[in-house]
Amino acid sequence: MSAPAQPRVGPATLRDGFGVLGVAIRREPWVFTWSTLGSVLFGALTVADAWVLGWSTERFVIPSFQDGELKPGAAIAVVALFLGVALLRAVGIVARRLGAGIMQYRMQAHYRRAVTRKYLELPLSWHQRHPTGQLLSNANSDVEAAWMPIAPLPMAVGTVAMMVVAIAQMLLADLVLAIAGLITFPIVIVANVVYQRFQSPLMTRAQALRAELSEIAHESFDGAMVVKTLGRETEETERFAAKADALRDINIRSGRMRAMFDPVMESLPNLAVLVVLAIGVQRFLAGDSDAGDVVTVAYLLTIVAFPIRSLGWLVADMPRSVVGFRRVSAVLDETGQMTYGDASAAGHGAGPARLEVADVAFAYGADDAGAEPLLRGIDFTVEPGRSVALVGPTASGKSTLTSLLVRAVDPDAGAVRLDGTDLRQLAHGELADAVALVPQSTFVFDDTVRGNIALDRDLDDATIWEALRAAQAEEFVRALPDGLDARLGERGTSLSGGQRQRIALARALVRRPRLLILDDATSAVDPEVEGRILAALRDQARAAGHEPPTLLTVAYRKATIALADEVIYLADGRVADRGTHAELLARNPDYARLVNAYEAELEPRPVTGVDEEGDR
């Protein structure tokens, strides 16, 4: 599988970063307004501190030194003034931070839900082209990265207003000192441009490495049994370590870049304050400036330093934000999701379904030139209530055909019809109400037995036990310590393979499907239990007062195949023959060779004396 295309990075990162923030502002305008007003309040009162400081210097501090007398009333007024400003400024800080947090987490939650919804809408063929680790990274770290700049955003917007007011007050206080202090602004802009140019490629590579690291971790954990039984722990650890080290190195390089950038942004305003104080002292001694004006301008410059730093924090997060948003948007912009019609399928209790497969063809990677079709001209009909066994050699297309029957994928040609209606014309959710598939690979959730069978449906215990009884799972479930409330562990680790298959079968049966498809769903149970399961599907349905479902079974065992009303034999992606099991055995040597070879593999081989000697 080719690596995903890397997001484009260029000098427009800053512009794109503000574009991403614009998406958040449009989605959460009231929260943004609330947090920004809090930030503006904080900024205005911070500037007011400078005015209070200058006014106190001129009206209280200097006269007190000149008169050699401290006036209590004036001191109380000054303290009260400072306290009032501080309290109101604290209110602004709370509003700013609370609003920013709410806005950030709402955006993250919204986009995680949107990405997950998109994953569910996209067909299985799309998921087969994208590693699970990459999908996890898109829904987690990419979403977090995209909205990271929201935290400093309201503060940056509010402090811009504070900076404008502060600059205006500086110009009014002393024009020469103001110009001397503000000369650092062009240097700050240049520093930001340089930082963006070097930091953006590093953030792009870091996000890609996070996805690759998640992919390797997922593969290693998912294939833990293979890794351990083949002794591949060291190799898997080294494979993971190589990506982890690469991510570490990129993050260190990024950290070094930011470590160089942050001190520059911190020091420039302080240098400006030193310049203003040096020039201000000279102007005060020359009688061109008042002491209060010098103090006011110097203090306002320290205030202006804060907006510069907050803008720096915002800018510093933008490269990673742009990269994360592009990766998330690439998922949301996918157009391969399935379309649905408005037709309905008959609901529960409407009787078994009629299945028609009409000249179906399918190829994996059909968009690629020269892709060989796996299925060609598949054409058969299963009448309501009939039981059909689907038999064929490995890679003949049996599991792919079952995916087409439940519309996990759509055929490239032809149609699959349920009661005469093309599956593509059914409304969303209609097919799931009528058809159930128990796949070859059984999945059990880390939940209770009841939760695994009912999933999101409100089912009473009697219905669940009925399904377990039909799946021959009642006995072992009753033996569990908590019965239906027993937790089964991740992927059903507390169960055997056959028990997991029977739980999955009960999950399908409890929905009373009109068409039941078993893709080698009883391979892990012994033939006797398998026979009881297939017999119970009919007997218990009739005992409950409803018709048994139409049954299509991907089968290998003779005993299973013999229970079917009819056998469809697939070979080379086509229907090679069909008929009863006995008919195919008699007239089709390839079919007879296949089923007899499988049966021979299951028979125990006698141990000869030579073998025994050899064993010794």
Domain(s) labelled CATH 1.20.1560.10 in the chain stretch across: 15-332
Rounded to a whole number, what is the largest CA-CA distance in the chain?
124
Would you state the pLDDT for residue 613? 36
* Position 1 pLDDT exceeds 70: no
Q: Which two tokens stand for residue 456?
A: 């999101």
Q: Fold for domain 355-364+373-602?
A: Rossmann fold (3.40.50)
Would you state the pLDDT for residue 484? 81
Would you state the pLDDT for residue 308? 63
Average pLDDT of the residues in 486-492: 75
* Position 119 pLDDT exceeds 80: yes
- Lowest pLDDT segment from 346-360, 382-396, 577-591: 346-360
Would you state the pLDDT for residue 434? 85
Contact 131, 215 (CB under 8 A): yes
Q: Which two tokens stand for residue 302?
A: 């320290």
* SS3 label, residue 429: coil
Would you state the pLDDT for residue 202? 79
Q: Which residues of 356-389 are buried (b: 16+ CB within 10 A; e: fewer)?
A: bbbebbbbeeeeeeeeeebbbebebebeebbbbb
Question: How does strand 566-571 pair with strand 387-391?
Answer: parallel
* Position 160 pLDDT exceeds 60: yes
Listed ranges 45-54, 102-111, 269-278, 463-472; the one with the highest mean pLDDT: 102-111
Average pLDDT of the residues in 57-85: 66
Average pLDDT of the residues in 475-497: 79
Would you state the pLDDT for residue 124? 75
Q: Chain-centre distance of CA 191, in angstroms?
A: 35
* Position 435 pLDDT exceeds 80: yes
pLDDT band, very low/low/confident/very high, at 614 (cuts 50, 70, 90): very low
Domain 15-332, CATH number (from 1.10.10.10, 3.50.50.60, 1.20.1560.10, 3.40.50.300)? 1.20.1560.10
Contact 531, 566 (CB under 8 A): no
Residue 470's CB is within 10 A of a number of other CB atoms, namely 25
Would you state the pLDDT for residue 612? 37
| Average of per-residue pLDDT values in the chain | 76
Per residue in 449-469, pLDDT (tens digit) is 888 888 877 788 888 888 888
Average pLDDT of the residues in 402-411: 85
Would you state the pLDDT for residue 5? 39
Would you state the pLDDT for residue 68? 61
Check residues 262 and 321 and name the one with the higher pLDDT: 321
Domain(s) labelled CATH 3.40.50.300 in the chain stretch across: 355-364+373-602
Please compute Rg for the chain using Cα positions.
36
Percentage of the chain surpassing pLDDT 70?
77
Listed ranges 9-23, 62-76, 119-133, 137-151; the one with the highest mean pLDDT: 137-151
pLDDT band, very low/low/confident/very high, at 312 (cuts 50, 70, 90): low
pTM (two decimals): 0.64
In DSSP terms, which residues pair with 426 in a beta bridge? Answer: 343
Compute φ and ψ for 31, nearest 5 degrees: -65, -40
* Position 366 pLDDT exceeds 80: no
Would you state the pLDDT for residue 95? 83
pLDDT band, very low/low/confident/very high, at 495 (cuts 50, 70, 90): confident
Average pLDDT of the residues in 547-576: 84
* Position 57 pLDDT exceeds 50: yes
Would you state the pLDDT for residue 7? 39
* SS3 label, residue 553: strand
* Position 306 pLDDT exceeds 80: no
Q: How far apart are CA 517 and CA 562, in angstroms?
A: 17
Q: How far apart are CA 247 and CA 244, in angstroms?
A: 5
